[in-house]
């Protein structure tokens, strides 16, 4: 543990500010998407007994340029509140689910987050708009390369670092993380991800079988290492791919 004297003398590390996308023709589409997500959330949050999405999360959703993370032939529907295919049997998540998982993570500016399953890079972009640094792992090399390229083009190279590999094991050399988010569904909670979670940190993860019942879980790690598990809602995610599955 770092001594308090060092904490007082050492400057806090600078958190890279995302480069805001320049104004573009899709700004109105982003606003409409955020309004749709907020309407959807009013019904969903009441049904789940949860607070509504925070203004900070909705604002981050409104800044991240989703159209830069979808295939060219889906540009016209980039801001629909639906998941979309991105190739390699993977999808870009529904904007509402991206917002909900971001909310559940309960990050603060300056936090460091581990993301398992970079996919398109969109979830990482939204997290970067929340002021956090994201270390993201993608097992499909072509998707990792594309996400790295698209994140850089959108101005997030300084706040999102993309790695290629099996995310089940996390990134132990960089642990602990203030939050961990998993964007594909394993059939159980990976123990390495819990081990790499900082005290007080949150792990947000869909768990269940492919094509079967899946639940979105939010797990909080207490100071004594105990884990509190919250069941949030039923979801449908692609399965988490492991190295031995390829």
| pLDDT digit string, tens, across residues 56-77 | 999 999 999 999 999 999 999 9
93 counts as catalytic: yes
Residue 219 pLDDT exceeds 80: yes
**Edge-to-edge strand list for the sheet holding 160-164:** 160-164, 133-138, 112-116, 177-182, 197-208, 214-221, 227-234
Are the beta carbons of 123 and 183 closer than 8 angstroms? yes
For 166, the 3-state DSSP assignment is coil
Helix 122-129 and helix 55-63: axis angle, to 10°?
120
> What are the tens digits of pLDDT across the range 89-129?
899 999 999 999 999 999 999 999 999 999 999 999 999 99
| Average pLDDT over the chain, rounded to an integer | 90
pLDDT at res. 1: 40
pLDDT at res. 17: 58
How many residues are present in the chain?
Answer: 246
Q: What is the mean pLDDT of residues 123-152?
A: 97
pLDDT at res. 210: 81
Are the beta carbons of 124 and 134 closer than 8 angstroms? yes
pLDDT at res. 174: 97
Residue 215 pLDDT exceeds 50: yes
Q: Measure the CA–CA gap between 245 and 226, rounded to whole angstroms.
A: 31
**Fold entry, domain 25-245:** Rossmann fold (3.40.50)
- Cβ contacts of 81 within 8 Å, gap of 6 or more: 33, 36, 37, 40, 94, 95, 96
Q: Measure the CA–CA gap between 217 and 205, rounded to whole angstroms.
A: 5
Are the beta carbons of 102 and 60 closer than 8 angstroms? yes
Residue 246 pLDDT exceeds 70: no
Which tokens in the block code for residue 4? 């308090």
For 197, the 3-state DSSP assignment is strand
Share of the chain above pLDDT 90, in %: 82
Neighbours of 197 (CB within 10 A): 24
Share of the chain above pLDDT 70, in %: 90
pLDDT class of 243 with cuts at 50, 70, 90: confident
10-24, 176-190, 196-210, 222-236: the lowest-pLDDT one: 10-24
> What are the tens digits of pLDDT across the range 2-35?
343 333 344 444 555 555 545 578 999 999 999 9
The catalytic position among 93, 120, 136, 159 is: 93
pLDDT at res. 16: 56
Are the beta carbons of 121 and 140 closer than 8 angstroms? no
Q: Distance of CA 73 to CAs 67, 84, 94, 122, 139, Å? A: 11, 11, 17, 17, 24
């Amino acid at each position: 543990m770092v001594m308090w004297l060092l904490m007082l003398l050492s400057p806090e590390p600078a958190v890279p500010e995302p480069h805001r996308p320049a104004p573009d023709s899709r700004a109105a589409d982003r606003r409409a998407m955020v309004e749709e997500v907020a309407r959807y959330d009013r019904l969903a949050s009441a049904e789940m007994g949860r607070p509504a999405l925070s203004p900070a999360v909705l604002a981050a959703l409104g800044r991240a340029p989703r159209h830069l993370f979808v295939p060219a032939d889906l540009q016209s529907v980039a801001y629909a509140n639906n998941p979309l295919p991105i190739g390699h049997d993977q999808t870009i998540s529904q904007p509402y689910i991206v917002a909900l998982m971001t909310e559940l993570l309960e990050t603060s500016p300056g936090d460091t987050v581990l993301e398992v399953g970079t996919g398109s890079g969109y979830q990482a972009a939204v997290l970067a708009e929340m002021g956090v640094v994201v270390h993201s792992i993608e097992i499909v090399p072509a998707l990792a390369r594309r996400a790295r390229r698209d994140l850089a083009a959108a101005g997030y190279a300084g706040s999102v670092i993309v790695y290629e590999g099996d995310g089940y094991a996390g990134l132990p050399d960089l642990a602990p993380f203030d939050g961990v988010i998993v964007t594909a569904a394993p059939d159980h909670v990976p123990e390495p991800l819990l081990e790499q979670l900082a005290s007080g940190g949150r792990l947000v993860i869909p768990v269940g079988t492919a094509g079967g019942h899946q639940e979105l879980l939010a797990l909080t790690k207490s100071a004594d290492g105990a884990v509190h598990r919250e069941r949030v809602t039923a979801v449908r995610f692609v399965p988490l791919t492991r190295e031995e599955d390829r």
